[in-house]
Homo-oligomer: A and B are copies of this chain.
Amino acid sequence: MGELSTLFAPERVAVVGASDEPGSVGYAVTNNLLETFEGAVLAVNPNRDNVLGLSCYDELGAVDDVDVAVVAVPAPVAVEVVRDAGELGIRNIVVITAGFSEAGSDGSRRERELKELAEEYELNLVGPNSLGIFSTGVGLNASFGPKHPVSGDVSFMSQSGAFITAVLDWAEQADLGFQHVVSLGNKAVLDEGDFVREWGEDAETEVILGYLEDVSDGQEFIRAAREVTAETPVVVVKSGRTAEGASAAASHTGAIAGTDEAYEAGLAQAGVIRVDSVQELFDFAAILSGQPLPEDNDVALVTNAGGPGVMMTDAVGDSTLSLADFADETLDALSEGLPDGANIYNPVDIIGDASAERFARTLDIVLADESVGMAVVLACPTATLSFDELAEETVRLQEKHGVPIAASLMGGASAESANDTLAAAGIPTYFDPDRAVRSLDALSRYKAISEREYVEPTEFDVDRDRAREIIESAVADGRQALGVESMELLSAYGISVPENEVVTDAEAAVEVAERIDGDVAMKIVSPDISHKSDIGGVEIGVPTEEVWDTYEDIIVRARNYQPDAAILGVQVQELVDVDTGTETIVGVNRDPQFGPLVMFGLGGIFVEIMEDTAFRVAPVTEPEAREMFTEIDSSPLLYGARGREPADVDALVDTIQRISQLVTDFPAITELDLNPVVALPDGAAAIDLHLTLDTEKL
């Protein structure tokens, strides 16, 4: 265990606000502790002499050696109790009391005080507004929930206390056991990142589960989870995925969560397996805690029923798994051992008159095949098959071969005891063959996560000082929205831009055009004019001899269109051969939880209409930038589809990383758009820039 070891394995727990009044929170917490806790329970309540057979202490200071203080007194008093605890040197505190940030401005003030106290006294503080915590290793149930968890190797944190009570109620009959359970409450101090880190170091925790409505500190969570998921799988429901759900979440916890794109990207970068339903959360927990990781993702299916076998095969087709391609010896052995009418190819159909013995013989052959990384046993009830024998054989063969197995025994009462046998051995089993396959898929996906090698973000050699100068001078001019006049910002970060200059008279325009040598593009530069093309503010392919007149025309049109617009000049830019290139977009916005979120997509219709985009939380590593190309459907256009010359994807990968470095270096950049970045056969050039600054973050 890590820094929170005492929180989860205390010897002495004090309940401040202990009560003998049934129905009260103080009663429930004390009672729960008395029922199962191995250590000492100490009741603190100045208004009682005795609570549930315990002598009451008047105050926390009267109790010696408190490892964990559970606070269940009204909110105004709770802050004082926490202060006392801090002064007494009690490090671990669970604040069950509600009435903090979820309850108006007084509550928010109190929550700020809690945070300050926690910082001052280095407190490990859970809550406030928490159901409590559970740790089955020492029988700790410091909660007011109605159920004790069964012991197991899953640790679970939840931003909803009610969800914990529901899960513990259901888990009793679902053969799911827990190591630690934490109701996160308002997460004033300890948050999901802390528990991921803690449980990652806990030898008793095999799987970490979470129900989250937001992530308090996205960057820290990514760091923590990225390390932990190399050894321990983390499966999370992040709710508020949809517009409707996000609005419901905001009214539930008061947290304004960022966009789902940020969560999707951030959780994936963190190595977290994200699920959308309660069923998948616990299906995945069961297989991740019960079965070994597969050697590879080729699955063998063995069934006594063709039709369900087809459904199961569809599930494989939907998954990231493949059907194993058996070796010749396997096929020979199957062919020898199976009757006419059987199908020896994967999915193996050992037909309706199969006994458990035929199942076992077939499984034994198939699991010995080196191409088989995992297997599903799928059985329909028949007169010749004993589910119980099949379950025993499956357990035996899983142990013999060490290959992960999931089962689907398609029966009701007739399958119950067999299902118990399988579950006891850690083999998950479902009526629905889909779920067996999806569970194996999760196992395989986690295998890949555990093997990821994290590459540090590339640190490019950039001119950070020059970038700072450009930003500061814009701010000094009172500008918060920067455009092409600040293209040098990109050059300072090594991002290729066509030769260009912003000029303020026609003569200078001609000089720049002559230097560029060839036709140029000219564009009005004004923070106040957003649709520059629409007002005739952009001219492409202007010959040098027309530059003077074009300059004047552009200025006149802009003045006519919007007399009060601030005009910074006209940009004269080297032409980029857009015809041989592909327009792409690199954008950034800043997510409240995860920080800078980098977007990539193909220009025009692809991003705007097809919504064909990929996101990563910055800093974006080189492999992460490269993955973005596999995520968008239109990327074949970059790889030379339809007779095009392939684009320089490396240059785009480089651009994405440099932008990531820029926005990481300058938190003042709240939004940034390079639209387009033209991907050429050799290189990539940023043609246009929009950038918004938050001057307070300079």
Question: Are B317 and A239 in contact, CB atoms less than 8 angstroms apart?
Answer: no
Q: Does A4 contact B (CB under 8 A)?
A: no
Given contacts A162-B308, A249-B310, A306-B252, whether A412 and B277 have CB atoms under 8 Å apart is no
Q: Does A561 contact B (CB under 8 A)?
A: no
Question: Are A239 and B166 in contact, CB atoms less than 8 angstroms apart?
Answer: no
Alpha-carbon separation in the docked complex, A251 to B309 (Å): 11
Of residues 239 to 283 in A, which have CB atoms within 8 Å of B's CB atoms?
Answer: 239-245, 247-249, 251-253, 276-279
Q: Does A604 contact B (CB under 8 A)?
A: yes
A39 to chain B, nearest CB (A): 25
Question: Are B382 and A146 in contact, CB atoms less than 8 angstroms apart?
Answer: yes
Alpha-carbon separation in the docked complex, A91 to B156 (Å): 63
Given contacts A170-B410, A239-B314, whether A432 and B279 have CB atoms under 8 Å apart is yes
Question: Are A242 and B314 in contact, CB atoms less than 8 angstroms apart?
Answer: yes
- A239 and chain B: residue at smallest CB distance: B310
Question: Are B413 and A173 in contact, CB atoms less than 8 angstroms apart?
Answer: yes
Alpha-carbon separation in the docked complex, A37 to B103 (Å): 66
Question: Are B305 and A641 in contact, CB atoms less than 8 angstroms apart?
Answer: no
- A610 and chain B: residue at smallest CB distance: B633
Question: Are A239 and B383 in contact, CB atoms less than 8 angstroms apart?
Answer: no
Alpha-carbon separation in the docked complex, A341 to B305 (Å): 54
Q: Does A53 contact B (CB under 8 A)?
A: no
Q: Does A211 contact B (CB under 8 A)?
A: yes
Most buried by B among A167, A172, A309: A309
A409 to chain B, nearest CB (A): 9
Of the candidates B237, B251, B279, B305, which one forms a contact with A343 in the assembled complex, judged by CB atoms under 8 Å apart?
A: B251
Q: CB-defined interface of A587-625 with B at 8 Å, one 1/0 digit per residue?
A: 000000000000000001100111110000000000000
Q: Does A165 contact B (CB under 8 A)?
A: yes
A211 to chain B, nearest CB (A): 6
Question: Are B605 and A305 in contact, CB atoms less than 8 angstroms apart?
Answer: no
- A28 and chain B: residue at smallest CB distance: B383
A6 to chain B, nearest CB (A): 28
Most buried by B among A166, A352, A412: A166
Question: Are A240 and B160 in contact, CB atoms less than 8 angstroms apart?
Answer: no
Q: CB-defined interface of A165-181 with B at 8 Å, one 1/0 digit per residue?
A: 11101111110000000
Question: Are A431 and B314 in contact, CB atoms less than 8 angstroms apart?
Answer: no
Kindly report how many copies of this chain are found in the complex they form together. 2
Given contacts A173-B412, A381-B165, whether A245 and B160 have CB atoms under 8 Å apart is no
Question: Are B610 and A349 in contact, CB atoms less than 8 angstroms apart?
Answer: no
A178 to chain B, nearest CB (A): 14
A15 to chain B, nearest CB (A): 18
A102 to chain B, nearest CB (A): 8
- A169 and chain B: residue at smallest CB distance: B411
A57 to chain B, nearest CB (A): 27
Most buried by B among A244, A435, A608: A244
Alpha-carbon separation in the docked complex, A384 to B240 (Å): 27
Q: CB-defined interface of A375-401 with B at 8 Å, one 1/0 digit per residue?
A: 000001111000000000000000000
A508 to chain B, nearest CB (A): 32
Of the candidates B166, B278, B279, B323, which one forms a contact with A381 in the assembled complex, judged by CB atoms under 8 Å apart?
A: B166
Question: Are B634 and A380 in contact, CB atoms less than 8 angstroms apart?
Answer: no
Given contacts A170-B411, A306-B160, whether A244 and B316 have CB atoms under 8 Å apart is yes
Question: Are B317 and A163 in contact, CB atoms less than 8 angstroms apart?
Answer: no
Of residues 633 to 683 in A, which have CB atoms within 8 Å of B's CB atoms?
Answer: 633-634, 636-637, 641-642
Q: Does A583 contact B (CB under 8 A)?
A: no
Of residues 133 to 190 in A, which have CB atoms within 8 Å of B's CB atoms?
Answer: 146-147, 158-163, 165-167, 169-174
Question: Are B381 and A318 in contact, CB atoms less than 8 angstroms apart?
Answer: no
Q: List 28 A-B contacts (CB under 8 A).
A: A146-B381, A160-B307, A160-B310, A161-B307, A162-B304, A162-B306, A162-B308, A162-B380, A163-B410, A165-B382, A169-B411, A169-B415, A173-B412, A174-B412, A237-B311, A239-B314, A241-B314, A241-B318, A242-B318, A244-B313, A244-B317, A245-B311, A245-B313, A248-B347, A253-B306, A605-B637, A610-B610, A610-B634
Q: Told that A23-B383, A169-B415, A173-B413 touch, could you supply 9 new A-B pairs with CB distance under 8 A? A: A160-B305, A162-B305, A213-B310, A240-B310, A245-B314, A252-B310, A278-B431, A278-B432, A279-B435
For the complex of A and B, list the 9 residue pairs with the smallest distance between their C-beta atoms, beginning with the closest: A160-B307, A242-B317, A162-B305, A166-B410, A245-B314, A252-B306, A244-B317, A162-B380, A170-B412
